[in-house]
A and B are shown apart, each in its own frame.
Chain A
Amino acid sequence: MSEAIRTHGLTKDYGAGRGLFDLDLEVRAGEVFGYLGPNGAGKTTTIRQLMGLAYPTRGSASIFGLDCHRQAVEVKRDVGYVPGEPPQFGGLRGREVIAYLGAMAGGVDQAHLKELVERLELDVSRRYREYSSGNKKKLLLVIAFMHQPRLLILDEPTSGLDPLNQQEFYTMVREARQRGGTVFLSSHVLSEVEHVCDRVGIIRAGRLVKVASLEDLHEIRLHRVEIEFAGDVPVEPIRRADGVDGVTIENHRVHCVVRGSFEPLMAAVAGAHVVNLSSHEPSLEDTFLEYYSEARTEAVASTC
């Protein structure tokens, strides 16, 4: 499988520790690659480098073997892009924005364009300024997909979309992959990348900390769980259960953190009378903080 995106030591240093540092990344052609990180981690900075909109402090980036800066125009013939911040086209109608940018992109199949507009239920006769943020995002998706590019670079594409359109978007991504396309999708929502991605790159504080398959991602994922019992709490089985940490007990209520599968915890409470069980996924930021602080602590302990 050839590579769609490759970066070597890509660095954009904004000073004061902000920016992107020494990014070595390879995205294979034909895969859906999730680029995951909390706000301010460097996702958009990476994408702006790939799109040739910003210049690296050092290092290089290439798309389909073409340098993202020196051959920016050739690169973009093969790329569809959704920016993180929607532009302001003011009084232009949706279909005028499509015609304006479509003529620059070239190779737009009108039948495919019509299908995209219908699938996303976008009213292109409205003026851009009348669009809600969700409709603006839909228009940007239409523009990114309209010329059926080999690579889609999507910066938080689902923010502002309602759940139905999010599902439609995931379908569009899967179809693009089936046609042989590559998708580079940035997000700060863990569950989103699980829906569609083959592999995931995790970036934090400007550095790529992990490139993982979906299976690996489950190790990172954690849930905060609260269980209420009618009688005695099976404290020891819960504390001994694999992947269960941070157990605290308050009367008949247990609070704990579950990493990975729920099976060990379910086995531990199997004999007890459970009145209520609730679980929620913390923010990605919290997940990262917990995961990496623990990983660092373990690493320090192992060196002592």
Chain B
Amino acid sequence: MLRNAFRLHRWGMIGYGVVLCVSTYVQAAAFIQVAGTSAAGRAAFAASMTALAGQLPYILPQPFRLDTLDGYVQWRSYGPLALVVMIWAIAAAAAAVRGDEDKQLVDYWLAARVSRARLVASRLAAFGLAALVAAVLGLLGYLAGAARYEQVNLSGAAGKVLTLWLLIVTLFALCYLIAQLMASIRGAQAAGTGVVVVLYLIDVLGRTNHSFDGLSWVSPFKWYDATTVLAPGGHLDAAGVGLSVALIVVAGVLSALAFAHRDVRGPLFALPPREVSPKDGAPSPLLSWPVARLLYRQRWIVAGWTLITAAMAVYMVGLAHTVVDSAINLPGMREFLTHGSGGDPYRGFIAAFWFGIAQLLLAGFAVHLVSGWASDDTEGILTSVLSMAVHRWGVIAERAAAALVGIAVVVAVGSVAAAAMAAGVGTTLDAAAVFRASWLLIPFALTYAAVGAAVSADFPRAAVGVLGVLAFLSFLVYELAPLLKWPAWAADLSVQQLYGTPFLTGVFWNGLWAMLAIVAVGFGLATLLMQRREVGQ
């Protein structure tokens, strides 16, 4: 049972383990480059970063000993990783309860005389094991990155890894309990996200206003932040560790009790069935038109990513003044922000940070679109579509056109939000530069979509994994190439590199042609593969 449950977490473990490893490695390796080696330089760096931390309490914990490599890694890497592992815990818990039941795995396990309590214990233990492996990979990243420059603090790092592991398992246990109350996997994800985000915001409240310090102790994120053992002079917070263990045990016991008192595939408390009016859900006329019908089916994905992108645009652009003003005196920062921006550091910030984040968001959006196409295939919808008078090439053409429209909507709304926010905070942006950098995001995202279309046309089950790895490697190459002084051809393997820095330096034409070529080849190959493949097996 434990082995089977562990197998179900293996891909999450590998994926998040690699993310943790790369994050700690990159931040450890980057410290010397950004903070320098002199005590005075590091003190100035720490002062600037501390000022910056005050502006970013939603992402970063309170700083501690930022003049040291270990303090910096703890703050800059382990801090935001709480947000990253939160996504894993929510998704894994919803899948472990509702996903397993939807797939009827739980029926088989229970029929095989596995008790409900043992099933809950096995799922928690299996995820705990997977989370431990991922957290240890994060430790290895830190060791690899830090050992090149300084003596590593192994015991301190182990303490931070312990609290990270406890945070992941605590969130999983909590979401596992919440999923017992819900009737569907989406409901479990939504409720889990709601509760975890509230707990995170309570911790953020404590970061921004010390009068909320007491309240913030209800949040597992606070228990995690309270341990500062990696940095010199830091400590392992025993209360935080104890509370985490207690919550895991309580949530596990309550989950077992809830599972024992509910039906498989049913919520703990069932609401009376809703009366459905015959007029409910009249079909949208969009369902009758090619492209529009696919967009209609993916409307929540498009709407969600549009909102996220617009919100991030407003947040990042709104921060431009405060972040730039607090960081401009850092060694090298003025050069970084004004290089190519005509001497305007605010423009430089928006180019580097907003359009950088927009690339990540659009890559994520493209992966989400591809996951929808792959699901159509594995869930039999493609079989239904191809049993109608529809050409196989038409399916790919429709996917390409829907992706183009969806990406254009996300880009347009995000860019308008960014421009409006910039105007609101008094940062003058060159409209032509914003337009240029924005429309180039379309071929950028389509590049990912085209690769995803080709993979999903032949291996739908592998499409999301392959595209996710590709996006991650692309990001990795873009980040590591300058840091590790890789040759230009290696850097050009990154799609981010092909996008260039159009906001500051104009269109990188070779990159654009390369992206368009990938788009054409990707969707062309998808058409060929779809034409010759067998569907529905």
Contact = CB atoms under 8 A, between A and B. Distances in A.
B386 interface: yes
Interface in B313-329: none
Interface residues of B, number: 32
Contact of A101 (B184, B278, B385, B537): B385
Contacts of B289: 103
B386 A52 contact: yes
Nearest to B289: A103
Given A73-B389, A92-B297, A125 B288 contact: no
Contacts of A86: 380
A54 interface: yes
Interface string B270-297: 0000001111111110011100010001
Interface of A: 48, 51-55, 72-74, 76-77, 79, 81, 83, 85-90, 92-93, 95-96, 98-101, 103-106, 123, 125-127, 129, 143
Given A93-B283, A95-B282, A96-B284, A51 B387 contact: yes
A125 B287 contact: no
B384 A101 contact: yes
Contacts of B391: 73
Contacts of B380: 83, 85-88
B536 interface: yes
Contacts of B383: 53, 83, 87
Interface of B: 184, 276-284, 287-289, 293, 297, 379-381, 383-391, 532, 534-537
A77 B391 CA distance: 12
Main secondary structure of the interface of B (DSSP, over half): loop
Contact of B281 (A76, A93, A101, A103): A93
B280 A125 contact: yes
Max chain A Cβ within 10 angstroms of own Cβ: one of B277, B385, B387, B532: B387
Given A77-B389, A93-B281, 17 more contacts: A53-B535, A55-B532, A79-B387, A83-B380, A87-B380, A87-B383, A87-B384, A88-B379, A92-B297, A95-B283, A96-B284, A99-B283, A104-B388, A125-B277, A125-B279, A125-B281, A129-B184
Contacts of B381: 87-89
A126 B388 CA distance: 23
B185 to A, nearest CB: 10
Contact of A53 (B293, B386, B388): B386
Nearest to A99: B283
Contact of B390 (A73, A93, A123): A73
B276 A126 contact: yes
A253 B437 CA distance: 90
A98 B388 CA distance: 12
Contacts of B532: 55
26 contacts: A52-B386, A53-B387, A53-B534, A72-B386, A73-B391, A74-B389, A76-B387, A76-B389, A85-B380, A86-B380, A87-B379, A87-B384, A93-B283, A95-B282, A95-B283, A98-B283, A99-B287, A100-B283, A101-B384, A101-B385, A101-B388, A103-B287, A103-B293, A106-B389, A125-B279, A143-B384
